[in-house]
Structure 1
Amino acid sequence: MNLTWDKRAREVAYLLNPAFCGEVIRRCIEAYQQTARQSMPFPLIFLILPIVLHKSTRETMPRTARGHMYSWLQENPHIKVGFAQRARNLIQVSKEAQTFLMQFNTLTVDVQAELSVSRRRRPRIPALEQGEVSDCFKKAELLGKWFANAGSSITIYTMWGVKP
């Protein structure tokens, strides 16, 4: 998906805009930081959107992070079908969201290539507290907790059947 904005279908540009995708990524990283008490490894940024934005994957995810990601993937092997292609397709979108977050000083990358988000007070927007958008945000937070407890980036990529 290396298309400039004027070449993208309007629906794709609206749904995969940097502000929304950035918020999904930000919530995932923040949950990772709170759980692991450290910054998130950079390579994981490219797994967030293909997991959270894929509706059937998102709907299959549990409500809480009590279980382990590995166990969930073992119980739901169909989740990995087509994942590698989805991940490839969303690389550019992930990069755009990362750039957006960095422009607003919300995301930093340190010299060890680890990601941190600043703690900022988010305005309460009632429209975002329900429906599919809210579900994406909640699952991004769950994913951040799972990532924090799943091991190294290489281990997580291996669980998903892709290479960094």
Structure 2
Amino acid sequence: MSHLPESPMPRPPEAMALFNTALTSELLVNACWAKAKEGDTGLAWPAAYLILPLTLHPATRSSLPRDRRITLARWAGRNHDLLAGMEYRVANMALPTKRAIRHGLRTKRLGLEGTNLIALEKPKSPTPKWPDELRGSVKAARFCGRWFNVIDTHMAFELLGIGG
């Protein structure tokens, strides 16, 4: 007889596949790598909780700008409809984000510098052979990582309507 507590609710197979820890961890690795590549620090750990909701939600991912000059503030101002569900998505993605961080640390794909997450090596770049959704998610994660070079994490949460 096991003394481990049972999971309060089993995860549906679709959620398990979509929120696979290897995939979600690699999205965080890509965000951390992109942030450090253009900045001087890793990704603040609270910002990691924004990466998956921004990159895995299809409508949000497809609305992310292609132009690096468009700021998070400008994007948020143009996408009120997507932000209406952002706080809910961030809350729903908290457990998959925690699992992704732990997986990345355990497999030594992610590391810590103080309270910042860092990519310990350059991730593979997306290729045309990758499925569209995977390629799009990785590109979105890198884009979001760059955003965190020009905005404080608390301001990002504020702009996205989280915790306000």
TM-score by length of 1: 0.87
Question: Structure 1 CA distance, aligned partners of 2:19 and 2:137?
Answer: 12
Alignment check: 8 A CA contact 1:64 1:142 kept:
no
Q: Which residue of 1 aligns with 2:87?
A: 84
Give the aligned partner of residue 68 of structure 1: 71
Extract unaligned runs of 5+ from structure 2.
Answer: 1-5
Structure richer in helix, relative to its length: 1
Amino acid at match of 2:155: T
2:120 corresponding residue in structure 1? 118
Q: Indicate the residue corresponding to 1:138 in structure 2.
A: 139
| Runs of 4+ more than 6 Å apart | 123-126
Structure 1: how far apart are the matches of 2:37 and 2:126? 21
Give structure 1 stretches of 5+ with no counterpart.
Answer: none
Give the superposed CA RMSD. 2.3
Please give the alpha-carbon distance, in whole angstroms, between the structure 2 residues aligned to 1:162 and 1:118.
29
Q: Deviations over 1:88-125 (max 9, x none)?
A: 011000000111111111111233x1111112464987
| Local SS of the residue matching 1:7 | coil
2:33–2:122 Cα contact (<8 Å) kept = no
Q: What residue in structure 2 maps to residue 8 of structure 1?
A: 11
Instruction: Name the CA distance, whole Å, in 2 between partners of 1:12 and 1:45.
Output: 19
Instruction: Write the distance in 1 (CA, Å) between the matches of 2:126 and 2:50.
Output: 27
Q: Does 2:160 match 1:160?
A: yes
